[in-house]
Structure 1
Amino acid sequence: MADETDVSDPLGWTRDHTPLLRSYQREYGETTPLEGYSIGVATHMEAKSGVFVETLAEAGAEVLFTGSEPHSTKGEVVEYLDEQDGIESYVEAGMSEEAWVDAQHALLEEEPDFILDDGAELIARVHADHPEIAQTIVGGGEQTTAGITRLEAMEDQDVLEFPVYSVNDTPMKHFFDNVHGTAESSLTNALMTTNTMLSGKTVVVAGYGYCGRGIARKARGMGAKTVVTEVDPRKALEAHMDGHRIASMDEATPEGDYFITSTGNREVLRREHFEQMQDGAILANAGHFDVEIAIPHLEDLAENESTPTEGVTRYHLPDGRQLDLLADGRLVNLTGPYSKGHPAEVMDMTFAMMVMAADDMLTEDRDLAPGVYAIPDRVDRTVADRKLETLDCSIDDLTENQEEYYDDWEHPDSHF
């Protein structure tokens, strides 16, 4: 591990803001619980991911890492990690889609024992293209909503060959990373790219899962008028109760200044919506895959395209309107020109849960059948307790009487 004062170290600043991961590095550097295992990692390879990878290596694992998306890789992080013992890269900055896929195949051909994934990239690929290797893998962990959706489809179709912890769905991930991390990083990068302000603007948020609700809440907190579109009536009602206006996308498109998608599905913004949008509307995607905004429809509608500023593609429509797409429709918080992903403080918790997913399944629960599993509550609480310690925060303990009260369903002495 590099000296914290080394200003040439691309992970130095991030380590200062990931005290939870650093605490696991110190502990696992002595106990090495993952020694003897190889772990394949797919994630957006930037500084926080670098600290995550070196934490796994400190725990004794041989780490093979690649990108979960070809355009979010930071070259200086990959180069630094490549120089560390026990770590091998299968990604580089600026690689083509074809080279990125080839690199994933190369990683899987090394037959890792465990996979820690983003978007189920490696897990889906090993099942589709290397089924004989899938049968030898002990297990995995998945950190995104999009990835869990893919894994649940695999489970429903009875093709999943090993157990996978649903890291995305554990409280220490979705209450913080999804709600706060996605919202702050997406809005920050969209505003930095465009040098615009949200105050007084109408922001249309597609999807009101954990990510969408965070985006909508924080946009409204910045002075925007928020409109939420949904396909789930319960989530739509939740958005309504949270104070946002609910509308169909057809209703919302003529009035939106900003459109931010976060649904995990395809063609959320498509031809009929682009045809109704007002001149100068800004489009951004906060979902994992670049399919939420139907870019081919934009290309078909436009007479020509231009780049008014770095990170913005402007589509010039025949009627004189202009629509501005950020980050080529990819993750706006990770692939824009100013993008650095989620804040380090929140990824500290997400990546700690990924490390613990590997630790727990490899050292405690080796007898799990194939399927998607919730991370044990004891693991989630342990990480939460440690995070509070790094923040120097204290909480109360239940008294003996309070514990007895929880355990006694009759409550015979409920007053005193």
Structure 2
Amino acid sequence: MSTDADPDVIDRLAERAPLLDRCADRFAERRPFSGRLIGVSAPLTPHTGRFLEVLATGGATVLVAGEAGSTHADVVAALRRRAEITPVTAVEDEVETPSEESTADEADAPSEEAALETARHEVIAAEPDLIADDGANLLVPLCRDFPDVAADVSGACEQTTGGITRLRRLAEREPIPFPVYDVNGAPMKQRFDNVHGTAESSIAAITSLTNAMIAGSTAAVIGYGHCGRGIARKLRSLGARTTVTEIDPRKALEAIADGHDVQPAAEAVADAAFVIAATGRANVIGREQLTAMADGAVLASIGSETEIDRDVLSELAADRTRIEPGVERIAFADGRTIRLLTGGRVVNLSAPGSAGNPVDVMDATFALMARGLEAIVDGEPTGTGLEPIPEALDRAVAREKLATMDVTIDGDGTDDRIEP
């Protein structure tokens, strides 16, 4: 007998996340997080919800703060039905799924950011034992402003390029008093999630927002790290003429060897129909790039919400018009216009209807996060500050992923001769 009732959004996704299912089975038996509070900051998407549920299966109490432009009302509602998980949202009860109001209205940004900061401080004030972070939005204020709370944290995992960049800068000024696993640096995260997942979801978001064709277009990709590399390759495979900008000469050479043109950013954006920032760093699209950008260009970020200098953009804009959900037309005094997507926030998370990277890759990334937190509880990291995910753990997740795909390889994947 069939039913038309829509199942729980997290339950609906669980069957497509076999690695997290394996973690759930493992955690249900071991209960590694019993009696522990885990603080989380992350986009509140369905796959994040499943990750939180798996942590709770391991005995954790979970307190989670959402992120700007990527909080889904159905996920928040589903989480509130799970007694061990408490979502701390910027808006009481009703949280908008990414929409016209939440993705393209710059006027709302300051108040929303203030509300999000309050939510994160509430998570920190609860004195979590462990932290799972996205963008270091919990870890930076925790270490900088709440040293007494930080002193009692057992450890953390950070999964993004931008977050790791922020933590490295933080560590230059003051020590991080507990171990933080660099999940973003794990080969499984870099080669699978960053290169392929981010590229596919970001290009899908950009084309859905603009109804523009990639084939035959010109595109400038700012940065050739793993995310930028994946974006540039996917764009080129779809028929775009691609130009890469880089500050690292080795990555620039790699981009040339991969078949892309390489130019300084101000030159690359002057001829590009699409400009995509993919560095994870702040203000890489600033005054020089904005004043050089081609008339009619589409501007998007996939690295972080700070890649585009919003203050300079507001200064240069003669007029700003929201033309459709997630798309804003910026007019400059010289007559040029550009289309800014999702207010400069991470486009694959903030576009209307978008849930970020495909569940296939987020399943592996969140499995790394969950197993990393388990390793911290088990006492595996012995130092403080940023540490790589253990090689054996990374390979174990890769082997499990292959098994779910019915793929076998020579050996068992543990040979010391294998390149990391």
What TM-score does the superposition give when structure 1 sets the normalisation length?
0.91
Q: CA deviation at 1:6?
A: 6.7
RCO higher in structure (CA 8 A, sep ≥6) = 2
Match of 1:317 among 332, 353, 365: 332
The answer on 1:23 being equivalent to 2:22 is yes
Q: How many residues of Structure 1 are paired with residues of Structure 2 in the alignment?
A: 398
3-state DSSP of counterpart to 2:9: coil
Equivalent of 2:218, from 189, 197, 202? 202
Tell me the secondary structure at the aligned position of residue 292 of structure 2: coil
Q: Which runs of 5+ in 1 are unaligned?
A: 408-416
Q: Which moved more, 1:44-53 or 1:98-107?
A: 98-107
Q: Distance in 1 between matches of 2:315 and 2:167?
A: 33
Q: CA deviation at 1:156?
A: 3.0
Alignment-derived partner of residue 75 in structure 2:
77
Structural mapping, 1:246-325, within 5 Å: 246-288=262-304, 290-325=305-340
What is the alpha-carbon distance in structure 1 between the residues aligned to residue 184 and residue 193 of structure 2? Answer: 9
Distance (whole Å) between structure 2 residues aligned to residue 229 and residue 354 of structure 1? 31
The within-5 A match list for 1:14-413 is 14-67=13-66, 69-92=67-90, 93-94=95-96, 96-288=112-304, 290-365=305-380, 368-397=382-411
User: What is the CA-CA distance between 1:403 and the residue it aligns to?
Assistant: 7.1
Q: Distance in 1 between matches of 2:51 and 2:188?
A: 16
**2 CA distance for matches of 1:272 and 1:42?**
33
Q: Distance in 1 between matches of 2:403 and 2:280?
A: 34
Equivalent residue of 1:103, what SS?
helix
Shift of 1:118: 0.8
Shift of 1:176: 0.9
Q: Which amino acid counterpart does residue 71 of structure 1 have in structure 2?
A: G
Distance 2:393 2:245 in 1: 35
Q: Which structure is larger by alpha-carbon Rg, 1 or 2?
A: 1
Distance in 1, Cα, partners of 2:399 & 2:5: 30
> 1:370-399: per-residue Cα shift (whole Å, max 9, x none)?
221111111111111111121121112179
Query: Is 2:267–2:292's contact at 8 Å kept on the other side of the alignment?
Result: no
Gapped regions of structure 2 (runs ≥ 5):
97-110
CA 1:389 to 1:369, structure 2 compared with 1: closer, same or farther past 3 Å?
same
Amino acid at match of 2:394: D
Cα-to-partner distance string for 1:17-39 (whole Å, 9 max, x where unaligned): 21111122123223222212211
1:7 maps to 6
Letter of the 1:74 counterpart: H
Which range moves more in the overlay, 341-350 or 90-99? 90-99
Q: Which runs of 4+ in 1 moved over 4 A?
A: none
Higher mean C-alpha displacement, 32-41 vs 340-349: 32-41
Counterpart AA for 2:398:
A
Contact 2:165–2:281, Cα closer than 8 Å, also in 1: no
CA contact (8 A) 1:162 1:371 kept: yes
Q: What does the per-residue CA deviation read over 1:30-74, in whole Å, with 9 as the maximum and x for residues that have no partner? A: 32222122111111111010000001011111111112x222111
Deviation at 1:121, TM superposition (A): 1.1
Cα distance, 1:303 vs. partner?
2.3
Q: TM-score, normalised by structure 2?
A: 0.90
Alignment partners' CA distance in 2, 1:398 and 1:103: 44
Contact 1:192 1:338 survives alignment (8 Å)? no
Report the Cα distance in structure 2 between the residues aligned to 1:276 and 1:122, rounded to whole angstroms.
36
Change (3 A) 1:403 1:155: closer
In the alignment, is the contact (CA less than 8 A) between 1:11 and 1:77 conserved in 2? yes
Identity of aligned residues (%): 42
Distance 1:342 1:319, change over 3 A: same
Superposed CA deviations along residues 127-170 of structure 1, whole A, max 9, x for unmatched, are 12211000000111110111111222233334211111111101
Three-state SS of the structure 1 residue aligned to 2:176 is coil
Amino acid at match of 2:56: A
Partner of residue 99, structure 2: none
Q: What is the alpha-carbon root mean square deviation over aligned residues?
A: 2.2
Q: Which amino acid aligns with 1:85?
A: A
Q: Comparing 5-14 with 23-32, which one deviates more in the overlay?
A: 5-14
